[in-house]
């Protein structure tokens, strides 16, 4: 099967990469021996067509250092690529981001699948300038109506759009089997590992919550890790001067460095205002960590399955209270860590890649 994947993020992209990128490399890395796979990604300064991790990459757009211009150029050029070469493939998978409406379904006769990571909804108006948020909201509301084939990463996403889909599947994100063998330890820090995006990931909430928690647990530190979309220094400056030295930034971590950081955390926290199916939470669970997250619909499975605690989304006080509960009770942390590891064992990339393969094959 010849697969064309439209995904603007890629390894090496200076504008960062997130869960969608991890998902693509994990799944396609397991399918590349059986299928011919091409990833069409956003061009960036120094990007060269060729293989990355054994997968063919084609970079289109401009080498501008301006993200808005790069995204616009990529959207136009990727759409042209589909029009020119789309019929040479058996199936096209389009990662749905409101900023990049490729209209791949109408640019080729090849079956197209819209892969929906998450829905931003009204949050767009709170995060972005109206010049960007209004078009994004309109695209997000209207665009899925144009497609018949969908991949969702959560049941929540599917429930929002299922009445529009002729063929759909929920294929979640996953973990590498090796994480289940990592020996959990406990350091002196709470870990946040995701994109450093203050609004979306709720980092402003976390900073406010850390003030009373740090006052109660004198030796406790907060470690932030992930692509720096917003300034870490700006976040830290909002803390009382005496607490700033207890917050550190580990950078964008991958591989063994990331595993080590997770395995030694006392608690893993993700206070997002909206989400899809965060890989980082699954990985933290696989490492045997107690997890706390906001109670948004996409993350309620944490409380529903008894594998962590949730707090009222947007409430620093409730987050502080829940963090204190976990920090005070080592036996609870260990209990949640054990249950979380068992839960995460049901989300192995090896099995998810097979689910993905079967669905793609059913669409052409």
Domains with residue ranges and CATH for the chain: 2-174+348-362 (3.40.50.2000), 177-344 (3.40.50.2000)
Beta-ladder partners of 270: 293
Check residue 286 and give its pLDDT.
Answer: 97
Residue 40: strand pairing partners: 6, 58
- Which tens digit of pLDDT belongs to each residue from 278-334? 999 999 999 999 999 999 999 999 999 999 999 999 999 999 999 999 999 999 999
CA distances from 171 to 154, 347, 352, 358 (A): 7, 10, 7, 11
Residue 92: phi and psi, rounded to 5, are -120, 130
Phi, psi values for residue 268, rounded to 5°: -105, 135
Average pLDDT over residues 162-185: 85
* Rounded Cα distance, 25 and 17, in Å: 11
CA atoms within 13 A on the CB side of 174: 23
Rounded to whole angstroms, how far apart are CA atoms 342 and 337? Answer: 9
Contact 141, 156 (CB under 8 A): no
pLDDT in tens, 250-284: 999 989 999 999 999 999 999 999 998 999 999 99
- Per-residue confidence (pLDDT) for residue 133, from 0 to 100: 84
Report residue 64's pLDDT band, with 50, 70 and 90 as the boundaries: confident
Q: What is the pLDDT of residues 96-123, one digit of tens each?
A: 988 889 999 999 999 999 999 878 888 8
Measured between alpha carbons, how far is 52 from 37 in angstroms, rounded to an integer?
12
Q: What is the mean pLDDT of the chain?
A: 93
Could you say which DSSP state residue 144 is in?
Answer: G
**Two tokens, residue 186:** 């406990």
Which long-range contacts does 244-251 make (Cβ < 8 Å, 24+ apart)?
246/214, 246/220, 246/221, 246/222, 247/207, 247/210, 247/221, 247/222, 247/223, 248/221, 248/222, 248/223, 248/224, 249/196, 249/223, 249/224, 249/225, 250/223, 250/224, 250/225, 251/225
Write down the residue that tokens 């049941």 correspond to: 155
Do 39 and 114 form a contact (C-beta atoms < 8 A)? Answer: no
Q: What would the mean pLDDT of 33-54 be, rounded to a whole number?
A: 94
Contacts of 213 (CB under 8 A, 6+ apart): 190, 220, 320, 323, 324, 327
Q: How confident is the model at residue 164 (pLDDT cuts 50, 70, 90)?
A: low
Residue 34's CB: how many other CB atoms inside 10 A? 9
- Please give the average per-residue pLDDT across 68-79, as a whole number: 93
CA distance 357 to 355: 5
């Amino acid at each position: 099967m010849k697969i064309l994947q439209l995904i603007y993020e890629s390894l090496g992209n200076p504008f960062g990469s997130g869960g969608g990128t991890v998902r693509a490399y994990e799944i396609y890395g397991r399918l590349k021996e059986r299928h011919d796979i091409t990833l069409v990604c956003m061009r960036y300064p120094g990007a060269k067509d060729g293989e990355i991790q054994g997968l063919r990459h084609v970079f289109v757009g401009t080498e501008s250092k301006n993200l808005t211009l790069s995204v616009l150029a990529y959207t136009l050029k990727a759409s042209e690529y589909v029009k020119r070469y789309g019929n040479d493939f058996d199936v096209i998978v389009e990662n749905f981001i409101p900023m990049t409406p490729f209209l791949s379904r109408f640019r080729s006769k090849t079956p197209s699948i819209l892969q929906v990571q998450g829905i931003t909804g009204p949050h767009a108006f709170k995060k972005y300038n109206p010049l960007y948020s209004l078009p994004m909201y309109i695209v997000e509301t209207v665009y899925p109506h144009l497609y018949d084939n969908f991949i969702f990463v959560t049941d929540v996403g599917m429930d929002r759009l299922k009445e529009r889909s002729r063929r759909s599947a929920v294929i979640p994100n996953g973990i590498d089997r090796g994480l289940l063998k990592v020996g959990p330890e406990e350091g002196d820090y709470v870990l946040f590992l995701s994109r450093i995006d203050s609004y979306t990931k709720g980092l402003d909430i976390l900073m406010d919550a850390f003030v009373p928690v740090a006052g109660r647990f004198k030796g406790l530190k907060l470690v932030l890790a992930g692509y720096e979309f917003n300034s870490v220094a700006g976040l830290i400056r909002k803390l009382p001067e005496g607490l700033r030295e207890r917050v550190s930034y580990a950078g964008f971590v991958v591989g063994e460095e990331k595993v080590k950081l997770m395995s030694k955390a006392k608690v893993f926290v993700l206070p997002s205002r909206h989400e899809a199916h965060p890989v980082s939470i699954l990985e933290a669970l696989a490492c045997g960590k107690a997890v706390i997250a906001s109670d948004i619909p996409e993350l309620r499975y944490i409380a529903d399955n008894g594998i962590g605690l949730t707090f009222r989304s947007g409430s620093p006080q409730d987050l502080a209270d829940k963090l204190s509960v976990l920090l005070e009770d080592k036996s609870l942390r260990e209990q949640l860590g054990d249950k979380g590891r068992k839960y995460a064992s049901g989300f192995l990339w090896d099995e998810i890649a097979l689910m993905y393969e079967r669905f793609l094959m059913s669409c052409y």
